[in-house]
Amino acid sequence: MGFSPLCLSQSLSFILFLFHFHSTISAPLSSNYQSLSLLQFKQSFSISRSASSEYYCQYPFPKTESWKEGTDCCLWDGVSCDLKTGHVTGLDLSCSMLYGTLLPNNSLFSLHHLQQLDLSFNDFNSSHISSRFGQFSNLTHLNLSSSDLAGQVPLEVSHLSKLVSLDLSWNYDLSLEPICFDKLVRNLTKLRELDLSSVDMSLVVPSSLMNLSSSLSSLKLNDCRLQGKLPSSMGKFKHLQYLDLGENNLTGPIPYDFEQLSELVSLHLSSNNYLSLEPISFDKIVQNLTKLRDLALGSVNMSLVAPNSLTNLSSSLSSLSLWGCGLQGKFPGNIFLLPNLESLDLSDNKGLTGSFPSSNLSNVLSRLGLSNTRISVYLENDLISNLKSLEYMYLSNSNIIRSDLAPLGNLTHLIYLDLSVNNLSGEIPSSLGNLVHLHSLLLGSNNFMGQVPDSLNSLVNLLYLDLSNNQLIGSIHSQLNTLSNLQSLYLSNNLFNGTIPSFLLALPSLQHLDLHNNNLIGNISELQHYSLVYLDLSNNHLHGTIPSSVFKQQNLEVLILASNSGLTGEISSFICKLRFLRVLDLSNSSFSGSMPLCLGNFSNMLSVLHLGMNNLQGTIPSTFSKDNSLEYLNLNGNELEGKISPSIINCTMLEVLDLGNNKIEDTFPCFLETLPRLQILVLKSNKLQGFVKGPTAYNSFSKLRILDISDNNFSGPLPTEYFNSLEAMMASDQNMIYMRARNYSSYVYSIEITWKGVEIELLKIQSTIRVLDLSNNNFTGEIPKVIGKLKALQQLNLSHNSLTGHIQSSLGILANLESLDLSSNLLTGRIPMQLEGLTFLAILNLSHNQLEGPIPSGEQFNTFNASSFEGNLGLCGFQVLKECYGDEAPSLPPSLPPSSFNEGDDSTLFGDGCGWKAVTMGYGCGFVFGVATGYFVFRTKKYLWFLRMVEDKWNLEVNWALLL
Ligand SMILES: *[C@@H]1O[C@H](CO)[C@@H](O)[C@H](O)[C@H]1NC(C)=O
Ligand SMILES: *[C@@H]1O[C@H](CO)[C@@H](O)[C@H](O)[C@H]1NC(C)=O
Ligand SMILES: *[C@@H]1O[C@H](CO)[C@@H](O)[C@H](O)[C@H]1NC(C)=O
Ligand SMILES: *[C@@H]1O[C@H](CO)[C@@H](O)[C@H](O)[C@H]1NC(C)=O
Overall average pLDDT of the 659-670 stretch: 95
325 within a domain of the structure (yes/no): no
Task: State which H helix or E strand residue 244 sits in.
Answer: strand 242-244
Q: Tell me: pLDDT of 906 over 80.
A: no
Distance 159 CA to ligand 1 centre (A): 15
* Identity of residue 542: L
Distance 227 CA to ligand 3 centre (A): 7
565 within a domain of the structure (yes/no): no
DSSP string for residues in 770-829: -EEE--SSEEEEEPPGGGGG-TT-SEEE--SSEEESPPPGGGGG-TT-SEEE--SS--EE
Distance 249 CA to ligand 3 centre (A): 6
Distance 598 CA to ligand 4 centre (A): 70
Q: Is the peptide bond before 60 cis (omega within 30 degrees of 0)?
A: no
For ligand 4, say whether the CB of 284 is within 6 Å of any of its atoms. Answer: yes
713-722 pLDDT tens trace: 999 999 998 9
d(CA 136, CA 151): 20
User: Which of 182, 197, 212 is where one domain is finished?
Assistant: 197
Q: Whose CA is nearest to atom 2 of ligand 2?
A: 159
Percent of the chain with pLDDT over 90: 71
Overall average pLDDT of the 782-787 stretch: 94
Total structural domains within the chain: 2
- What number of CA atoms fall less than 13 Å from residue 87's CA on the CB side? 14
Helix residue ranges, H only, 5-134: 5-21, 27-43
For ligand 2, say whether the CB of 139 is within 6 Å of any of its atoms. Answer: no
d(CA 850, CA 870): 10
Three-class DSSP category at 122: coil
pLDDT of the residue at 31: 67
d(CA 95, CA 657): 52
Overall average pLDDT of the 132-161 stretch: 96
d(CA 97, CA 121): 8
Residue to mutate (ligand 4; options 262, 286, 292; most atoms within 8 A of CB) = 262
814-834 pLDDT tens trace: 999 999 999 999 999 999 998
Helix residue ranges, H only, 100-211: 178-187
Grade residue 250 by pLDDT with cuts at 50, 70 and 90.
very high
Contact 472, 446 (CB under 8 A): no
Distance 114 CA to ligand 1 centre (A): 10
Residue to mutate (ligand 2; options 157, 181, 187, 189; most atoms within 8 A of CB) = 187
Distance 259 CA to ligand 4 centre (A): 6
Contact 838, 939 (CB under 8 A): no
* Closest ligand to residue 138's CA: 1
User: Which of 197, 213, 228 is where one domain is finished?
Assistant: 197
Q: How far is CA 949 from the centre of its chain?
A: 56
For ligand 2, say whether the CB of 187 is within 6 Å of any of its atoms. Answer: yes
Distance 68 CA to ligand 1 centre (A): 28
d(CA 192, CA 189): 9
Ramachandran angles phi, psi of 405, nearest 5°: -85, -10
For 886, residues 6+ apart whose C-beta sits below 8 A from its C-beta are none
942 within a domain of the structure (yes/no): yes
Measured from the Cβ of residue 438, the count of other Cβ atoms closer than 10 Å reads: 26
935-944 pLDDT tens trace: 222 222 222 2
**Residue 405 vs residue 26, higher pLDDT:** 405
Q: Which domain holds residue 175?
A: 19-197
Cross-strand pairs, 766: 738
Q: Which ligand 1 atom is nearest residue 89's CA?
A: 14
Distance 215 CA to ligand 4 centre (A): 17
d(CA 863, CA 879): 9
pLDDT of the residue at 887: 55
916 within a domain of the structure (yes/no): yes
Ramachandran angles phi, psi of 790, nearest 5°: -85, 65
Q: Tell me: pLDDT of 947 over 70.
A: no
d(CA 561, CA 567): 8
Cα–Cα distance list, 23 to 110, 112, 115 (Å): 13, 11, 17
Distance 755 CA to ligand 3 centre (A): 41
User: Which of 153, 182, 197 is where one domain is finished?
Assistant: 197
Q: Which ligand 4 atom is nearest residue 260's CA?
A: 10
Grade residue 538 by pLDDT with cuts at 50, 70 and 90.
very high
Q: How far is CA 689 from the centre of its chain?
A: 41
- Positive or negative, the CA dihedral 466, 469, 472, 474 is positive
Show the ligand 3 pocket: residues with CB < 6 angstroms. 227, 249, 251, 274
Buried b or exposed e, range 666-687, using 16+ CB within 10 angstroms = bebbbbbbbbeebbbbbbbbbe
471 within a domain of the structure (yes/no): no
> How are beta strands 242-244 and 751-755 bridged, if at all?
unpaired
pLDDT of the residue at 886: 62
DSSP string for residues in 198-243: T-B-TTS-GGGGGGS-TT-SEEE-TTS--EEEPPTTGGG-TT-SEE
* Closest ligand to residue 85's CA: 1
107 within a domain of the structure (yes/no): yes
Contact 92, 116 (CB under 8 A): yes
Contact 291, 263 (CB under 8 A): yes
For ligand 4, say whether the CB of 290 is within 6 Å of any of its atoms. Answer: no
Show the ligand 1 pocket: residues with CB < 6 angstroms. 112-113, 137-138
Distance 225 CA to ligand 3 centre (A): 10
Q: Whose CA is nearest to atom 1 of ligand 3?
A: 249
End-to-end CA distance of the chain: 84
Least confident range from 112-126, 717-731, 752-766, 929-943: namely 929-943
Overall average pLDDT of the 347-351 stretch: 96
Q: Which ligand 1 atom is nearest residue 87's CA?
A: 14
CA dihedral 708, 709, 712, 717 (to 10 degrees): -130
Distance 895 CA to ligand 2 centre (A): 89
For ligand 4, say whether the CB of 262 is within 6 Å of any of its atoms. Answer: yes
Q: Whose CA is nearest to atom 14 of ligand 3?
A: 249
pLDDT of the residue at 805: 96
262 within a domain of the structure (yes/no): no
Q: Tell me: pLDDT of 5 over 80.
A: no
pLDDT of the residue at 736: 79
Contact 720, 786 (CB under 8 A): yes
116 within a domain of the structure (yes/no): yes
d(CA 381, CA 407): 6
d(CA 767, CA 765): 6
Q: Where are the beta strands (DSSP E) in 307-354?
A: 319-321, 328-330, 343-345, 351-353
DSSP state of 909: I
d(CA 727, CA 322): 45
Overall average pLDDT of the 612-640 stretch: 93
> How are beta strands 79-81 and 88-92 bridged, if at all?
antiparallel
Q: Tell me: pLDDT of 946 over 90.
A: no
d(CA 11, CA 33): 9
